[in-house]
Chain A
Amino acid sequence: GIQVEQSPPDLILQEGANSTLRCNFSDSVNNLQWFHQNPWGQLINLFYIPSGTKQNGRLSATTVATERYSLLYISSSQTTDSGVYFCAVDMRFGAGTRLTVKP
């Protein structure tokens, strides 16, 4: 089956800093999504992005399907951005990046 690898596994930032999270996948993709799991365990859909670039406020994402990777950018991070960020390829999840934003 498809392999989904996320990096880095953990990330600690000061409030206001920017970050880039990466998702590599092993096969061609029909569906790629980014999710945020907040500290209460809720999984929130951030982007549906099998290809191209999208932006939503301080967050943006880019998928280069031909090179089998996707990037999630978080700018001007806030403490509420803390949690785990997951990449899901054809609804198979990577291990996630745990982000901690310190005030």
Chain B
Amino acid sequence: DAGVIQSPRHEVTEMGQEVTLRCKPISGHNSLFWYRQTMMRGLELLIYFNNNVPIDDSGMPEDRFSAKMPNASFSTLKIQPSEPRDSAVYFCASSGTGVTEAFFGQGTRLTVV
């Protein structure tokens, strides 16, 4: 298996633009997590899906952020409109039934200018 695949690896966008980050979990995994990592706040759990259903979105910072998982092999995290304070590395992780070992993608480094 190729592991968790995130795209793009780097994204530079202007303030106010819409940004879409993508994640393909490991085949057979049914839990998916989105994180944001910054120096100030560390690794923050944004949202957790189980069997494609959002279970806990309490970490989503505000309404500008939204996440979807239309099927077991794809998820998106969207920011609209983007702001400079959204600049961070965004990680996606997946794990099997019952949230056992989790595996992370390589992250998307987002810069909003």
Contacts and interface: CB of A to CB of B under 8 A. Distances in A.
A85 interface: no
Interface string B14-50: 0000000000000000000101000000111100100
Tell me if B's interface is mostly helix, strand, loop or mixed.
strand
Contact of B100 (A41, A43, A44, A48): A48
Contact of A91 (B42, B48, B106): B48
Interface string B67-106: 0000000000000000000000101010000011111101
Interface of A: 1, 30-31, 33, 35, 41-45, 48, 86, 88, 90-96
Interface of B: 33, 35, 42-45, 48, 58, 89, 91, 93, 99-104, 106-107
